[in-house]
Structure 1
Amino acid sequence: MHVFYNRKGIGDCLIVPLKQGDRYQIDFNQYGHVTKIYDTESKEVLGYNIFREGSNMELEDGKHKLDEVMLAKINQILDRHGVPESLELDLSPKFVVGYVKTKEPHENADKLNVCQVDIGTETVQIVCGAPNVDAGQHVVVAKVGAIMPSGMEIKEANLRGVDSFGMICSQKELGLPNAPEEKGIYVLTGDLKAGETFDF
C-alpha cells in the first residue's frame, strides 16, 4: 500500500487512500489538519487527507510505501488532531509471486479456468480467463485488498458459481511498460519463490 505527497502540485497534503468509493455517496469530517473521507452508506473510511504535516515527516514529493514506521507516525497525527479511531492496516504485500499448482476447467464457463495458486502463506483458489494460464507457472497474483494501477480494488468474488480469491495479472493490468496487447497473464521466469513480493 502507498501514500502520496505532492507539495509542489497540491501543497503540504499527505493523501492516504484506503478504499474506492462511489463519488455520489462520499462525505468527510474535519479534525484539525486531518480530513477523514468516508462512505455515507457503509460508513467505511475511504481515506485521509493530512494537511501541514508532510514537512514534519520530512517527506519528499512522490509515492511512498506505507510501512510500520510511517503508519505509526500517521496514527500519532490522527490522535493529536482528535480523530476517534486509529488506522489499522494489513501491511503484508498485496502483489506477490504465485505458483499455479493446478488448473481445471470451470464447470459453468468454457473460457474460464479454476486455479489453485500457492502464494507462500496459503493456497488460494482463483478463477482466471487468460488463455495462457497453466499449471506449473509462476505468475503475479494481486491478493484480495490489492489496488490495481487502474484504481480497481481486488475483492473476493463469485464467478459463475465458483469463488475466487484474488487475480492472476497480465502485464497490461499491472501497467508495465511495453505490455503486449494480446490477452494473457504475465508468466514469470527465473529463480522464484511463491509468496515473494512482486515490485513494479
Structure 2
Amino acid sequence: MLISSLNSASFADTLILIVAADTANLQATKQQGDVVRIYDQTTDQTLGFNIFHVSQYLPDLTGNGQVFLTEDQVTKLNQLLTDNGFAGELAADLSPKFVIGYVKSLVAHPDSDHLSVTEVEVDHGQTLQIVCGAPNVAQGQKVVVAKVGAMMPNGQIIWPGALRGVSSDGMISSARELAVPNAPQKRGILVMPADIPAGTPFDLEKAAQVVAAQNAAE
C-alpha cells in the first residue's frame, strides 16, 4: 500500500508517504538528508516516510490532499531512499480509491439496530463487504465507495476495520464526506445515477450535478 499526500499549508514542500497503518507500539524516526523514515520501534516495520524539499526530486508533482504517484515518480523516490541509506521499498499503487459501487445485497447487522452489512461491487468485478450506518442505503443503489487506501477530504484514511464484530473494507460515502459543493448536512449517503457502471472512478463534477439536482427537487 502507498498513500501519498501534500499539504502545502501545514507542511510546505513535503510529501507524506504512508505504507502501513499505525501500530500500538511506540513509533520512532530516522532522518537521512531530506528523508525521514517513520517506523515501529518494536518490530522495525516501516510505517511511512516524509520527503522534504520534494519539488527538487519530483518537480512535476502537484496537488493538495491525496496525490497519486506514477510508476516513474515512485522509481525516483525509491532511488532517493537508497541514496540516503534506506531500503527502496515503495510500490506504485495506480488503482482508483474512490469509485462507483453497486449495492448487491444488504442485511441488518447482527449486533446493531441501525447498521447494515452490505456487499458492494466495485472495480474489476471485486465485491467488498462494507458496514454502513446511513438510513437511506438500499439494495440496488449506485453509491460512492471510498476503498481501503483512500484519504478523505478531511484527512481520514480508510483502513480495513470492523464495526461491532463485523469486518468492513471501505466506506459508502455521503456528499458531505466527499466535500461535494452544496452537499446537504443531513445524514445519508450520496446515491448516484443508476446508469453509471460499477467501478467507474468518482467524478466530483458529476457528483456536484447530482447534488444540485437533488437539492432542486426537495
Scaled by the length of structure 1, the TM-score of the pair is: 0.83
Matches within 5 A, 1:172-187: 172-187=176-191
Matches within 5 A, 1:32-181: 32-41=33-42, 43-59=44-60, 62-63=63-64, 64-121=67-124, 122-181=126-185
Superposition deviation, residue 12 in structure 1: 4.7
Helix, strand or coil for the counterpart of 2:105? strand
Quick check: 83-92 or 138-147, which moved more? Answer: 83-92
Superposition deviation, residue 130 in structure 1: 0.4
What amino acid is the match of 2:154?
S
Change (3 A) 1:110 1:72: same
**What is the root-mean-square deviation of aligned Cα atoms in Å?**
2.8
Q: Any idea what the Cα deviations from partners look like across 1:102-137, whole Å, max 9, x if unmatched?
A: 112223211111111101221111111100001111
Superposition deviation, residue 94 in structure 1: 1.5
Superposition deviation, residue 20 in structure 1: 5.7
Q: Any idea what the Cα deviations from partners look like across 1:57-103, whole Å, max 9, x if unmatched?
A: 32466434222221111112112222124212533112111001111
Superposition deviation, residue 140 in structure 1: 0.7
Any stretches of 5+ residues in structure 1 without a counterpart?
none
Mapped contact 1:4–1:16 kept (Cα < 8 A): no
Change (3 A) 1:177 1:26: farther
Task: Give the aligned length.
Answer: 199
Change (3 A) 1:82 1:68: same
* Percent of aligned pairs with the same amino acid: 43
Mapped contact 2:70–2:92 kept (Cα < 8 A): no
Mapped contact 1:5–1:54 kept (Cα < 8 A): no
Please give the alpha-carbon distance, in whole angstroms, between the structure 1 residues aligned to 2:100 and 2:192: 8
Please give the alpha-carbon distance, in whole angstroms, between the structure 2 residues aligned to 1:9 and 1:156: 27
Mapped contact 1:139–1:185 kept (Cα < 8 A): yes
Superposition deviation, residue 180 in structure 1: 1.0
Please give the alpha-carbon distance, in whole angstroms, between the structure 2 residues aligned to 1:157 and 1:132: 22
Mapped contact 2:71–2:92 kept (Cα < 8 A): no
Change (3 A) 1:58 1:85: closer
Helix, strand or coil for the counterpart of 1:54? helix
Any stretches of 5+ residues in structure 2 without a counterpart?
205-218
